[in-house]
Structure 1
Amino acid sequence: MLVVDDDPTVAEVVTGYLQRAGYQVDRAADGHQALAGAAAVRPDLVVLDLMLPGLDGLEVCRRLRATEHGADLPVVMLTAKGDEADRILGLELGADDYVTKPFSPRELVLRIQSVLRRAKAVAGAPGLLAAGDLTLDPQARRASRSGRELALTLREFDLLAFLLRHPGTAFGREELMQRVWGWDFGDLSTVTVHVRRLREKIEDDPAAPRLISTVWGVGYRFDPVGSPAS
């Protein structure tokens, strides 16, 4: 696991909690070190501070997602900013979760465990999933459309797997957060952003989605035959 924070006190506390939880932890103090560390030894997850010297956390996340080894690397972002726009931007760039400073180190560990647990659960599910030209292999954590592999983040993959398993069923954002993210509480914009990102990768026209339909007053529904959105 890689912890990226330029505040040595925060980095030390987070590292200590993660080590006591049984994780091996490497540290980086700026964006360039983070990219080098992630490239040298692919971590299971990156805890990434938003405000970093040199390259900020958003740019680090952007560059990680642009690499082959970082496309599906779980990223939990730390931010001292409470503004919703900053949180949404982090999610838009591919962060799987975020925790706002000041935070409880124990809460951070629980959120990290949730991200990793969900990834393991999806990977352990048997059998290929398919709908139309979409194919998803949970164990290999690979998804493709018309034979072309999709570059999905961990949460995008989990969301698509869930939708493929429940075609034609409408789910509210609260239920998706609980069943895909494993959270009983949280910012529902997290779900909205991930649905939007997933549409951009699997829809012919994300502005007029035919696979992931919006069910007004409820949430979202996966339509494998690509019927018009509600």
Structure 2
Amino acid sequence: MTAVDLPAVPRVLIAEADPASRELLEQVLSRVRCDARVDTCDEGRQALELLAHTPYDLIIADWELPGVDGLSILRSLRQQHRTPALPFILVSRRNDGASVREVLPLAPTAYLTKPLNRENLTQRLQGLLLSGEDTSNPAPTPGPGLTLATFLERRRDLAEGAPLMTDVQVAIKRSLNPGGLDLKLLEEEIRTDPQITAVLIAAANSAAQHQGGGPVQTVAQALHQLGTGQSMNLILGLTIKRCARLNVPCLADYAERYWELSLHTAEYARTIARMLDLEQERCYCAGLLHRLGDLALLRCLEEWTQAGGDLDEPEEVGDSLEQFGAGFGSALRTRWRLPLELRELIAAVYGLGGGVYSREALVMNMAAQMAHLPSHEGLEELARGRTARLLKIGLPELMRLRRQ
């Protein structure tokens, strides 16, 4: 279900025992999609009966429903292994770490705690029913006349980004303490994942734009802007999308290599920026995100195979990456409206061209060169290069960087 292919009249089930909460849910839903067909009930067994006979596009259920609780309803739906997973918002009074850990394995699209916040609820429903934020764009089905190249051309402007390289459930569990989600711990857990980083920064910039804030360019800034609830919901929402993890071994191997290259570039960028007293975390993020397009392309290749398309490994994979990887990255960064400053740093990874460059752009270019160097080779030539000379970094500094 997306903004493009929503049913003419989306069907929503609200299972909520509390009349005030149920009324609020209906009000907000009607304002987001006035044409939605809404069924309501106040106990779990009735909800299950409705689900058995009606194809819903979205479920909103209270954990504390009498009879059969909302968590049990969510569990029964997930056991059906529907692809993509049916969007499900779980509502509860519980906000302790133990409750969150219990919910995580069932991957709700969102977990909202009471009392419900009208603004947050509106944003979540807009994402589901208008913008397609939390659901999957349907991939073209391979068939006569649809080549892999044509498939990738069509997916380039609709791709949902990179596959997840972090175990989200483990990351959130490690970030929980008795008081709830610790944003600092969460940052440490997810900061190496390109997809989570890009989605959080994109969402935070959207929020900052509405609230009049400046550009968000790091994971720490994004988490602070979004807060614990929205951050967790966004991250959890990524896990239920199609091809969130790669299962084709060849594609997973390519993804690991690109991810490792991104991490090496990011670490070099942060170290060089720290050495030169520049903005470390923004450089780190630029390095981490510079292969986002290649990773997104690999995810689309997995979609191709899942839909029945043939894939000649590794020839077609390599050719596709060379032909489409850069285009996928550019399209994603533009569509997700990543800040211009961050995009400029990502572009500097690939080359400098002509003109005047910021020192951070030079850092990114140097970090990329370092990440691509074979072990213990090429440092002398790199020290004589243009980027090193502009940064005033000599061979001794490069040797120290290599040893770190």
The answer, yes or no, to whether TM exceeds 0.5 is yes
Identity among equivalent pairs (%): 22
Residue 137 of structure 2 is aligned with which of 109, 123, 138?
123
Q: Return the alpha-carbon distance in structure 2 between the equivalents of residues 113 and 54 of structure 1.
A: 30
Please state how far the C-alpha of 1:111 moved relative to its aligned partner: 1.0
Q: Where does the alignment leave 5 or more consecutive residues of structure 2 unmatched?
A: 1-11, 143-147, 164-191, 208-225, 268-283, 299-313, 315-404
2:44 counterpart of 1:31: yes
Please state how far the C-alpha of 1:203 moved relative to its aligned partner: 4.2
TM-score, structure 1 normalization: 0.61
Equivalent residue, structure 2, for 1:3: 14
Q: Return the alpha-carbon distance in structure 2 between the equivalents of residues 70 and 203 of structure 1.
A: 15
Equivalent residue, structure 1, for 2:161: 162
Which moved further from structure 2: 112-121 or 5-14? 112-121
Flag the 1:61–1:14 CA change in 2: closer, same or farther, 3 A.
Answer: same
Please state how far the C-alpha of 1:39 moved relative to its aligned partner: 2.5
C-alpha contact 2:108 2:237 (8 A) present in aligned 1: no
Secondary structure in structure 2 of the residue aligned to 1:162: coil
Say which structure is richer in helix: 2
Q: Return the alpha-carbon distance in structure 2 between the equivalents of residues 36 and 173 of structure 1.
A: 37
- Bigger Cα Rg: 2
Q: Deviations over 1:1-51 (max 9, x none)?
A: 111111122112322332344132111212222222122222221111111
Please state how far the C-alpha of 1:69 moved relative to its aligned partner: 5.9
C-alpha contact 1:45 1:73 (8 A) present in aligned 2: yes
Say which structure is richer in strand: 1
Secondary structure in structure 2 of the residue aligned to 1:19: helix
2:91 counterpart of 1:78: yes
Flag the 1:106–1:197 CA change in 2: closer, same or farther, 3 A.
Answer: closer
- Matching residue's letter, 1:17: V
Secondary structure in structure 2 of the residue aligned to 1:95: coil
Equivalent residue, structure 2, for 1:109: 122
Secondary structure in structure 1 of the residue aligned to 2:73: helix
C-alpha contact 2:21 2:116 (8 A) present in aligned 1: no
C-alpha contact 2:110 2:237 (8 A) present in aligned 1: no
Secondary structure in structure 1 of the residue aligned to 2:91: strand
Q: Return the alpha-carbon distance in structure 1 between the equivalents of residues 127 and 204 of structure 2.
A: 7
Q: Where does the alignment leave 5 or more consecutive residues of structure 1 unmatched?
A: 139-157, 226-230
- Name the Cα RMSD after superposition: 4.4
- Matching residue's letter, 1:5: E
Count of aligned pairs: 194
Secondary structure in structure 2 of the residue aligned to 1:78: strand
Which moved further from structure 2: 115-124 or 18-27? 115-124
Secondary structure in structure 1 of the residue aligned to 2:161: helix
